Amino acid sequence: MSAFWAIVRRDITLAMRRKAEVITAVFFFVVVAALFPLGIGPDMATLRLTAPGILWIGALLACMLSMGRLFAADYADGTLEQMALSPNGLSVLVAAKILAHWCLSGLPLVLLAPILGLQFDLPTNALWVLTLSLLVGTPLLSLIGAIGAALTLGVRGGDVLLSLLVLPLYVPALIFGAGAVQAEMSGLGASAHLSVLTAMALVAAVFSPWASAAALRLALES
C-alpha cells in the first residue's frame, strides 16, 4: 500500500504543478452549467426538470477532458515501463493513478454540484441526491475511462477513439445518476437508482484496474 499512496501523492503533486489542466475541467463544468439556463430560459419548472441531465452531462464531459492524459505522460517518459517492471502489481499502481485522477477531476465537480444546482432552483433534498449520485458516479467515470485510455495509449488520434469507446459505456451511469435526482424530485425516492449506480461502481472498481493494466502491457509490448 505504500507504493499505492506514493503514486497517488506523486500524480497529485505533478498535477498541482500544471494547474491549468485541473482548472480546465472544473471551468468547463461551471461554464456548461451556467450557459444552459441562459439558453433554456427563465422558466423554473423547465430548469428543475432539465437540471439533473445537464449537470451530469457536464460532469461526464469534464471528466473526459483529462482522461486522455491519464497514462500519456508516464508512457512518454518511460515511467510506465518502470511501473510494469516494479515488484508491486501493475493493477495496484493503475488503481492509484485512477484514484488520483478522480481526486483531481471528479471530486471538485462533486463539491461544486450543489452550488451550481441552486441556479436551477433544485430543492434541498434533490441537491443532496445530486451530490451523492456524483460522489458515487464520478469514480465510475474514471474507472471506465481508464480502460479506454489504456486501450488507446500511443494510438494516432487516440483522443477521438477514446471518446468513441468510452461514451457508450458512460450511458448507464448517466441514466441512473440523473434518474436518481429526477426520482427524488418526483417523490419516488432515489434509493433504487443509487443502489444500481453503486453496484456498477463496485464492479468497475474490481475489474477496471486489472483490465487497464492488461491493456497497458499490450501497449508497452507493441
Q: In this predicted model, what pLDDT tens digit does every residue of 26-50 receive, in sequence order? A: 888 888 888 888 888 778 888 888 8
pTM: 0.91
Handedness of CA 176, 50, 148, 138 (dihedral sign): negative
- Residue 121, pLDDT above cutoff 90: no
Helix axes 44-67, 124-151, angle to 10 degrees: 30
- Residue 139, pLDDT above cutoff 90: yes
Mean pLDDT across the chain? 88
Q: Which is more confidently placed, 3 or 172?
A: 172
- Residue 158, pLDDT above cutoff 80: no
Model pLDDT, residue 111: 92
- Residue 9, pLDDT above cutoff 80: yes
- Residue 64, pLDDT above cutoff 90: no
Model pLDDT, residue 83: 85
